[in-house]
Structure 1
Amino acid sequence: MCCPEADAEPGAGRRRVRVTGVVTEVRIAPVHDRAEFSALVIAHDPARPRAERKQVRLVWQGQRAVPGVTVGVALECVGLLCDRRSEPTIFNPRYEIVAKKVQR
């Protein structure tokens, strides 16, 4: 995570964070449930490459698909980090797909 204070702990308040990481899992809610698309991101801090990597769940409510968000894609997200079911979660984050560096 880009913000060391971004570790969500049960009972901790929400705080705005910037998360950079790679999507490792996506989930789509069943048709009979409320529309929700979620992605699990393994977050890392580019400034501290040896720092422990954390998992953050990104949830887009009311969506069954989010353009460009698939397994293996690198994202940079901004949003309010909270604790949902003992898992650090950001609801409806703003996101950018991070382009892979190409060597020439």
Structure 2
Amino acid sequence: MADAAGRKAAAAMSVRDLPDRGRVLCHGFIESVTYVPANQVASFIAILIDHDTPAPVTRFPALGGKGGAGAAAASSLPANGVSTHRVRPGSQRQRPAGPKERLRVVWLGRRRIPGVDAGTELRLEGMVTMRDGLPTIFNPRYEILSRQEEQ
């Protein structure tokens, strides 16, 4: 299969195998996303983990008593104004141990990317660099990979 530029499609790399710098194609699951408040520069940040780890569990039990209407309680922002949605602790997998097992993905100028939430499977292509000890890709090309509908 060739892309629009006529190049052969490369195989996706594991997050663990990413170089410190260079163009990469990788594949993984979103572990967490960070939303910034309206008074800060627009950016959308996601943390990606390897695709060979099982998909994280993203369902949360209702926090309220009657009718399960406790979801509104989880919508308040912390004191610093940054909201981070993480995968529920105690899911099927162990949390990755080191920074090389995670990839930070940053979309500058965007406050939200429709379809990109914790647990979503993505294929990314872009330039990777080390930033604050974590491999980071800014404004990558991305593909949301289909997932099974839950019944």
| TM, length-normalised to structure 2 | 0.54
**1:48 matched to which residue of 2?**
none
**1:55 matched to which residue of 2?**
102
More strand by share: 1
Residue 30 (structure 1) aligned to one of 29, 37, 47: 37
**2:27 matched to which residue of 1?**
20
Q: Percent identity?
A: 37
Cα distance in structure 1, aligned partners of 2:48 and 2:129: 15
8 A contact 1:44–1:54 mirrored in 2: no
8 A contact 1:2–1:44 mirrored in 2: no
**2:18 matched to which residue of 1?**
6
The Cα of 1:26 is off from its aligned counterpart by 0.2
8 A contact 1:19–1:77 mirrored in 2: yes
* Superposed CA RMSD: 2.4
Q: How many residues align?
A: 92
Instruction: Point out where structure 1 has 5 or more consecutive residues left out of the alignment.
Output: 9-13, 46-51
The Cα of 1:60 is off from its aligned counterpart by 0.1
**1:75 matched to which residue of 2?**
122
More helix by share: 2
Instruction: Point out where structure 2 has 5 or more consecutive residues left out of the alignment.
Output: 1-11, 53-95
Instruction: Give CA-to-partner distance per residue, 1:32-79, whole Å, 9 cap, x none.
Output: 11100010000246xxxxxx9821010000000012100110000000
Secondary structure at 1:2 match in 2: coil
8 A contact 1:23–1:75 mirrored in 2: yes
8 A contact 1:39–1:57 mirrored in 2: yes
Secondary structure at 1:68 match in 2: coil
8 A contact 1:24–1:72 mirrored in 2: yes
**1:64 matched to which residue of 2?**
111
